[in-house]
Chain A
Amino acid sequence: MNHDSNHSTETKSGFLTTYLFSQDHKMIGIQFLFSGLIFFGIGGLLALLIRLQLAWPDGNLPYIGKWFPQSWGGKMSPEFYTMLFTMHASIMIFFVIIPWLTGTFGNFLIPLMIGARDMAFPKLNMFSYWVMWPAFIIILASFFVDGGAASSGWTSYPTLSNVGAEAGLEKNPVKPGEPASSYTVFKDDSFNSPSSPGAGMGQIFWLVSLIFVGIGSMMGSVNYITTILNMRAPGMDLMRMPLTVWSLFITAILQALALPVLTVALMLQLLDKLIATSFFLPPGGLSFGNWHTTPGGGQPLLWQHLFWFYSHPAVYIMILPAMGVVSDIIATFSRKPMFGYKPMVFSMAAIASLGFIVWGHHMFQSGMDPRLGTGFMLATILIAVPSAIKTFNWLATLWGASILYTTAMLNALAFVSMFVIGGLSGIFMAATPVDVYFHDTYFIVAHIHYVLFMSSIFGIFAGITFWFPKMFGRLMNEPLGKVHFALTFIFGNLTFFPMHILGIGGHPRRYYDPTIYQYLENLQPLNQFMTISAMLLGLTQLLFVINIFYSLWFGEKAGKNPWNSNTLEWDAPSPPPHGNFDQIPVVQRGPYEYAIDGPLDYLTQSSTASDGVKHHE
């Protein structure tokens, strides 16, 4: 292969090409890891501000009150609050979870686990990270533009988000003797929006930033799909691939099919904002006080269909890789073969394909035809079946295992436990009549955080801890890791579990001050309790950051295969050099041959020792 002959010259590259403009998949994965970490911190701080407001909505926050401008009365303004949750969700989803799962794990692991020297398109891979930088800069800059950051929620529904002051009609003040309906056309060059301050420049920045993210993810997907299909080591049949690779493969396909739809939708909304195209503005025109839009010819509902057609598959993009990672970690530390490898692969494929026909479950109350609702309901209910299959297979893997409680394993076990909760709450909302009540309440917020924080993030913690020695040649600190895990598990549940109860009580999401409602008064102590837990949860994450940086320099040195694991990446040195393997391994068997009788209880995928296993499939 061409690349092989090149790589000896590339190893002598300078600092810039090694660390910044690297085309090495491992360095790109590590870049995604650290930028994700920075945004995890930013997104987390935004979350804590949200929680502060919810616990003490009458403002007057001790100390913190002084940070807010005098004009807000020394407290958070409602508009600022809407910016907080919009940016929190957007950052966590598009700058933390997706980049960590597909960017870090996808880049770092795919070539190593399939026995390739690098990605199929290393340059494209470098670009996939570097287009993230405009996105990073734009999203951060958006906090400081006129009107502030985007504030229409991460879902960014028109017409709140897309009305611009670019063109409209202003009602003339009524003079005596003149008909009341006289208007002048006006033009405002400022991009301000009459709907909310953040829907002006902030929204434009938000849209542009996400378009960059989309382009980057698209490059990544193409690369992952091609690499997995074309560059597997000899003997690495599809059905011998580790579940992590399967999950990343299916995720890449999902992303390649769904992302264009989001990108188009974002561009249409951007056109609405910039040149008043009104793709998402209704024919009748809108009025905000004295200000009227010119009649459009579009549909606000169209955005919701386009958005959820992407974003429902996207929620699986945000969990499938974690499922793969967790499967490999559980098998390794159970010292037992993965139970039901094929059902695990098929159920991921089922989740991915069903995932394309359930988007309407986000729109049961949107004004969609009720008959359509029934179809989406049935599809949504069915998608719980493959989720259940996966859960039972993880449990069956643990049954009769010989469990080693490493930090990575604990985080993986937490994933299983928490994913059960998130999956089960989904069933309430899949039931259309019940969802009428739960939609846009805290029940949804609970669901989101159980699947995304309590599942995906635990999966990510597990994966980072597990592959850290491969990335940097040193192990993360186990005791510190365990303390971090235990506290995150406790405070995470204390923070997010009561949200279910809030939802049952009918507490709407995205409320600046719920206490003005009598029926919510009772729930306020829960809100305060959750805020205190959230602060502790936030503090706990410092342990993770400390552990990473401590271990980078002072961690125990790791050999090639510190966990006695089977997959190919453990054949390479830690950290692997450019080109990964001294010699491309030849794959002999599937990835889960643990519990072997012999001197070692495992047989790596490339080991040529005869397995001596009694195979009972």
Chain B
Amino acid sequence: MHRCWGLLFAAVNLAAIGLFAISPAMGWWLPKNIASYGADIDHLFYLILVATGFFFVITQGTLVYCMFRFNAKDGAKAKHIHGNTKLEIIWTAIPAIILLYIGFAQTPTWAKMKYIEIDTWFPIRYKGTNIESDLHVTVLGRQWEWRMRYPQGHIPADPQAWADLGNLHDLHVVNELHVWKDAKVKIHLKTQDVIHSFFMPNLRLKQDALPGKVMPMVFSPIEANVRYNPKTRILEELNPSSTWEIACAELCGGNHYRMRGKLFVHESKQDYELWFSDALKNQRIHESTRLAPVVASSNGVNP
């Protein structure tokens, strides 16, 4: 009976490893990455997975071994030992070194995500910000939808003021973020009521929207999923499996789960512009219902 306990612990730990092993094959894994810095994030994830996996195996292995090996019922005799300074130093230093390595290894990625320049030699020293973008979008969270606003010409003259006040000729779209492949996108994230969090799993990106503040978000998608057909006025999916969703990640009331949006990455800037001008024309026609979903995408792709 006393041997069973070691077995139980071993079995549970093996099952845990097993679940991690089969999950990618089952499709229970990171969604496809489409962010320029996304590969860095995923590498970091795997680096930590390897490091933690190593400690997991060592510690659980030792525990299970002890449970089998040092058993009173098998007549094991306990040793009178109070400690060992050398060992303490070793098992303080090794995790500390590995952890510090993980700590410093990640700062360049963090800087890239936040478009910050850092010192090459001392990567936690910041040298300045580096945001140049070729598409600005304002995203306004409210209970329970995302309202997107696009400027004519992609870059407003005074982005700060534009993010605050907008412009008469802006294009308004609900729950749809349109950008183009390789665009350097800057989102001005706002909310009119409670905290929301703009989460795009495929871009590995998430940012809280804070009442009273305009939060910046910067990214660049490296893959496209739609093409606009000006003849049929339909957004065509390039690949049936590339639906990229937007979710809300911060509790914002009962329908928090329903703040679902979609990310459309157009093939090219030209393609985006075709869509933009049609959508804008359409909005002028329906000026009175400015905030109703715009026609373009409600045809082709399921909203």
Contacts and interface: CB of A to CB of B under 8 A. Distances in A.
Interface stretch (A136-144, A204-212, A437-445, A579-587): A437-445
Contact of B63 (A340, A398, A400, A404): A398
Nearest to A291: B193
B33 to A, nearest CB: 10
A514 B116 contact: no
A138 to B, nearest CB: 23
B208 interface: yes
B78 A282 contact: no
Contacts of A414: 9
B72 A402 contact: yes
A81 B84 CA distance: 52
A514 B82 contact: no
Contacts of A405: 2, 5
Given A420-B56, A424-B52, A402 B215 contact: no
A342 B92 CA distance: 14
B103 A381 contact: yes
A510 B210 CA distance: 19
Interface in A492-541: 493, 497-498, 500-502, 504-506, 508, 510-514, 516-519, 522-523, 526
Interface string B1-42: 010010011001101100110010011111100000100110
Contacts of A79: 253-254
A469 interface: no
A82 B78 contact: no
A421 interface: yes
A267 interface: no
A334 B12 CA distance: 22
A400 B70 contact: yes
A196 B116 CA distance: 38
Interface stretch (A58-66, A151-159, A172-180, A243-251): A151-159
A431 B98 CA distance: 13
Interface string B32-63: 00000100110011001101100110011011
The range of chain B's interface size is: 35 or more
Contact of B80 (A486, A523, A613): A613
Interface string A377-409: 110011011001101110110111111110000
Interface stretch (B154-162, B165-173, B196-204, B274-282): B196-204
A517 B260 contact: yes
Q: Most chain-B Cβ atoms within 10 A of its Cβ — which of A403, A490, A613?
A: A403
Contacts of B84: 339-340, 396
Residue of A336, A500, A614 with highest tally of chain B CB at under 10 A = A336
A434 B91 contact: no
A160 interface: yes
Contacts, number: 331
A505 B195 contact: no
A371 interface: yes
B248 A508 contact: yes
A14 interface: no
Interface stretch (A96-104, A255-263, A589-597): A589-597
Contacts of A371: 116, 126
A439 B249 contact: yes
A279 to B, nearest CB: 13
Contacts of A404: 72
A396 B83 CA distance: 8
Interface stretch (B105-113, B224-232, B291-299): B105-113
A405 B2 CA distance: 7
Interface in A301-351: 301, 334-343
Given A401-B76, A403-B71, A432 B251 contact: no
A69 interface: no
A414 B8 CA distance: 10
A596 B80 contact: yes
B211 interface: yes
B72 A335 contact: yes
B72 A342 contact: no
B34 to A, nearest CB: 12
A523 B23 CA distance: 10
A594 B106 contact: no
B292 to A, nearest CB: 17
A77 interface: yes
B106 A160 contact: no
A367 B44 contact: no
Interface residues of A, number: 119
A365 interface: yes
A421 B16 contact: yes
B256 A82 contact: yes
A283 interface: yes
A436 B113 contact: yes
Contacts of A421: 16, 56
B130 interface: no
A433 B110 CA distance: 5
B258 A516 contact: yes
B193 A159 contact: yes
B81 interface: yes
B277 to A, nearest CB: 29
Nearest to B111: A370
B193 A286 contact: yes
A300 interface: yes
A374 B107 contact: yes
Contacts of A512: 254-257
Contact of B99 (A339, A427, A504): A427
A338 B254 CA distance: 50
A428 interface: yes
A493 B253 contact: no
A425 B45 CA distance: 11
A498 B48 contact: no
B80 A337 contact: yes
Contacts of B83: 339-343, 393, 396, 617
A134 interface: no
B62 A395 contact: yes
A616 interface: yes
A402 B60 contact: no
Contacts of A165: none
Given A508-B249, A594-B80, A288 B116 contact: no
A518 B5 CA distance: 42
B211 A152 contact: no
A506 B41 CA distance: 14
Nearest to A298: B212
A374 B48 CA distance: 17
Contact of B29 (A283, A428, A505): A505
Given A82-B254, A401-B66, A424-B52, A378 B124 contact: yes
Contacts of A158: 195
User: Quick one: which of B114, B193, B205 has the most chain A CB within 10 A?
Assistant: B193
A337 B62 CA distance: 18
The 5 A-B pairs with the shortest beta carbon distances in the complex, nearest first, are A282-B212, A79-B254, A506-B201, A78-B254, A595-B78
22 contacts: A157-B250, A300-B210, A338-B82, A339-B82, A340-B88, A370-B116, A395-B66, A398-B70, A400-B81, A402-B71, A402-B76, A403-B67, A421-B16, A424-B56, A433-B110, A436-B113, A439-B249, A489-B12, A502-B28, A508-B249, A511-B257, A596-B80
Given A153-B251, A399-B66, 10 more contacts: A300-B210, A340-B88, A395-B66, A417-B63, A431-B44, A436-B204, A501-B29, A504-B29, A522-B26, A616-B80
Interface of B: 2, 5, 8-9, 12-13, 15-16, 19-20, 23, 26-31, 37, 40-41, 44-45, 48-49, 51-52, 55-56, 59-60, 62-63, 66-67, 70-72, 76-84, 87-88, 91-92, 95-96, 99-100, 102-103, 106-107, 109-111, 113-114, 116, 124, 126, 143, 192-195, 197, 199, 201, 204-208, 210-213, 215, 243, 245, 247-258, 260
